[in-house]
Chains A and B, each alone.
Chain A
């Protein structure tokens, strides 16, 4: 499983980071960045939780 980020859509709401700070971080501009290039399996449920709360649908789950 991977998380796909639509960087142009991200508005820095940071709800993904709230849901899963070990998966999603904010860069210096306050926009989303993935902590892991390759998502560890143990973090998949957390990554999914972060993706679902994005209000601008900038995150999608790729299986």
Chain B
């Protein structure tokens, strides 16, 4: 293999490129990015960058080595697997021997076609756009009470805005289970967040957007309206590629997609049982997959990677590190601290088997937390 192209330059793409070099690949290596900024970490976007307390430049990932050609502003529009070509929006098609697909995902949007001013948090530019409006704003409406929506609500609340979170479902419950969700929501309420329920959904109102109409009654208005309603894998450019898409690009247990093609990160899905495809759109999963993808590309049939079920969030003064299969059912056993005091180490059991562990404002190495959740 003499010419590897990585499509996408977020953590999955950057990790794949790094891993290829680290594992001894000496051929040509090109990373295509549709963004205009050098690769950066999305982790601080909903926190420091959104709040304007962390300079956007500080999110940059350690630069790729000089022997990797990073092509910014290069958006892939089609893939021809037989001809081994990636088509670009601007410029000549890019040939490859080996391909890493790491095109990630984009924010899902609620606005009607042509409706302007909908704010989301996915890219550095998105976060900067919100940050620039915080100083002149008094109120904010966050549509979506998932991890991202709650982090955004927390950050804006810390900056003095009166924040309302609206969702179809009780916030976080579907993601982490009711016990943990209730704990976080109680904390958010205590910090002044207002929660609104919209079981039948909302529609954004205004152009530019200035609020949301709750199906079945009422409108919520705010100076800043942020949609945090999930993300959609960027698979459209693969439409004519012949690769299998099922709610994401399907990868096998070693991140192989097809001959000479591997994939990693938010764009992927894994078949967890026949006909059931699951995404694992988190940092650690992107890293573990990207490394597996690189090894598979270099050595042919790669070794299956160990899926990493680990996620963390920071909101309302709570640093939550979670390992295991979310959501967790019922109440945990408390191993240390006291949940009511805001600091605890907790484990969820099915029978005598630990299925999940959470460290809440409890400092412990993440590897140990993961080991707890894996302990049979």
- Bound CA span A50–B15, Å: 9
Number of A-B residue pairs having CB atoms within 8 Å of each other in the complex: 75
How many A residues are at the interface, by size bracket?
A: 20 to 34
Q: Is B288 an interface residue (CB 8 A)?
A: yes
Q: Decide if B365 touches A19 in the complex (CB within 8 Å).
A: no
Return the contact of A14 from the options B15, B363, B367 (Cβ within 8 A). B367
The number of chain B residues with a CB under 8 A from chain A is: 26
Return the contact of A53 from the options B21, B287, B365 (Cβ within 8 A). B287
Given contacts A11-B366, A18-B291, A52-B14, contact A57 B41 (CB under 8 A): yes
Return the contact of B365 from the options A20, A31, A46, A61 (Cβ within 8 A). A31
CB distance from A59 to the nearest CB of B (A): 8
Q: Is A55 an interface residue (CB 8 A)?
A: yes
Q: Report 20 cross-chain contacts, Cβ distance below 8 Å, ordered by A residue.
A: A14-B366, A14-B367, A18-B291, A19-B22, A19-B291, A29-B365, A30-B367, A45-B18, A48-B65, A49-B19, A49-B22, A52-B14, A52-B61, A53-B11, A53-B15, A53-B18, A53-B287, A55-B312, A56-B43, A57-B41
7 more contacts with CB within 8 A, not counting A20-B22, A26-B367, A49-B18, are A14-B366, A19-B22, A19-B287, A45-B21, A53-B15, A55-B283, A55-B284
Across the A-B interface, give the 7 residue pairs with the lowest CB-CB distance, nearest first: A30-B365, A12-B365, A49-B18, A49-B22, A46-B22, A14-B367, A45-B21
Residue positions of A touching B, CB distance < 8 A: 11-15, 18-20, 26, 29-31, 45-46, 48-53, 55-57, 59-61
